[in-house]
Amino acid sequence: MQYLVGFIVGLIVGGLVIFIINRLQRKEAEKSFSLLSQEVVRKNSEDFLKLANQTLATQTQVGVGELESKKQLIDQTLQAIKTDLNKVEKLVNDTEVRREKTFGEVSTTLKITAEQTGKLQETTNRLQAALANTQIRGQWGERMAEDILQAIGFEEGINYTKQKAQDVAIGRPDYCFLLPQGLKLNMDVKFPLANYLKYFEEGNEVVKEGYKKQFLKDAKQRIKEVTTRDYINPAEHTLDYALVFVPSEQVFCFMHENDKEIMDDAIKSKVVLCSPLTLYAMLAIIRQAVDNFKLERTSAQILSLFGSFYKQWKEYCKCMESMGKRIGQAQEEYETLASTRSKMLERPLKQIDDLRRQTGITEAPLIEDIDTGETKTDEEIK
């Protein structure tokens, strides 16, 4: 038992000794490993720093090269920008010079325009003052109508008749167009414009509306006046329609825009309202129709004259043929005289020359050729 206890105690003591020895060896190993680790870390740090320094030097050199390239590129870009800025500055300066010049021209143009506008305003005022006079308005309408008639080619006394100034009377047409078969088409150029002018001069809308209604009423009254027997009278060979000339396209459109029924009412009353353009078109159609009628009426006379001409032409051809035959016979007679008869006459002449030489007359005249007028010797005659 004592041995067992001693063995156990020895075993325990031995285990403690071994534990203490292992503990000491572990501390020594840890200290050695720590020293070794520090040495490795130090060495690795030195190698890393050396490699880092080399890499940094290499990168620094590369960076310096790239910086130099970028500096050159930046310099080139700055130079190009500077050149462009110089061009822009020059362009701005040129633009400023042109602007000043253009501004001066615009100022001059505006000044001239203002002067022309003032003159136009004066002319407009004079025109309004003139149109306020009834007699002058009538003369203006007649002048417009005269210009249209001249443009179409109408001649007074042939295509139309005009009422003279001393014969002007209320209710009589101003123009009468002459149509085939004795027919006539009457036209009046006297149109009420007083209230129309007042409408545009007035600033009060209520008063303007009153002037507009009065103007349309005056126009309808004028249409009614034209329907009298002085304008439409079949007994005097007039057409069933009469023309009323409105001497302004603006007035014509104003009437149509503000009273849609005025045109229809005029047609129902057998009155045709004409602006300068529509009058030109209408008279051009009348002119063409009259020309076609005259051509048709004279067609028979032309055909008759053509028949007479053809008859005389046949007689002329016969006479020319007969004269040609006579000329041919005369040519044959001439050829006979120039050839056969001439030779027959030359033979006696030759015999006479022979007799003269036999009698001793030496200076015998030469025989002249009748055909050519040349002289011939005896030998040539033989």
- Residue 168: pLDDT band (50, 70, 90) is very low
Tens-digit pLDDT profile for residues 81-113:
888 888 888 888 888 888 777 777 777 877 787
- Residue 251: both structure tokens together: 């007035």
How many helices (H) and strands (E) are present in the chain, helices listed first?
Answer: 9, 7
The pLDDT of residue 6 is 62
Q: Is the pLDDT of residue 144 over 70?
A: yes
Q: Is the pLDDT of residue 371 over 50?
A: no
The number of beta carbons lying within 10 Å of the beta carbon of residue 186 is: 22
Query: pTM for the full model?
Result: 0.46
Task: Evaluate whether 251 touches 233 at the Cβ level (below 8 Å).
Answer: no
CA distance 377 to 365: 9
Which one is predicted more confidently, 326 or 24? 326
Q: Is the pLDDT of residue 128 over 50?
A: yes
Q: Is the pLDDT of residue 149 over 60?
A: yes
- Residue 177 has phi, psi (to 5 degrees) of -90, 130
Judged by phi (left if over 0) then psi (alpha if -120 to 50, else beta), residue 181 lies in left
Could you please report the per-residue DSSP string of 238-292?
B-S-EEEE-S-HHHHHHHHHH-TTHHHHHHHTTEEEE-HHHHHHHHHHHHHHHHH
Contacts by 66-73 with C-beta closer than 8 Å and gap 24+?
none
Q: How are strands ordered across the β-sheet holding 271-274?
A: 160-162, 175-178, 184-188, 242-245, 271-274
The average pLDDT across 143-147 equals 85
Q: Where are the beta strands (DSSP E) in 96-169?
A: 160-162
Tens-digit pLDDT profile for residues 188-205:
888 888 888 888 788 888
The pLDDT of residue 360 is 65
Where is average pLDDT lowest: 124-128, 241-245, 256-260, 373-377? 373-377
Q: Is the pLDDT of residue 217 over 70?
A: yes
Q: Is the pLDDT of residue 363 over 60?
A: no
Please enumerate in sequence order all residues whose Cβ is within 8 A of that of 282, keeping only pairs 6 or more positions apart, or say none. Answer: 243, 272, 274
- The CA-based dihedral angle spanning residues 140, 144, 150, 156, taken in that order and rounded to the nearest 10 degrees: -50
The pLDDT of residue 382 is 42
Average pLDDT value over all residues in the chain:
76
Where is average pLDDT lowest: 251-265, 273-287, 328-342? 328-342
Assign 374 to helix, strand or coil.
coil
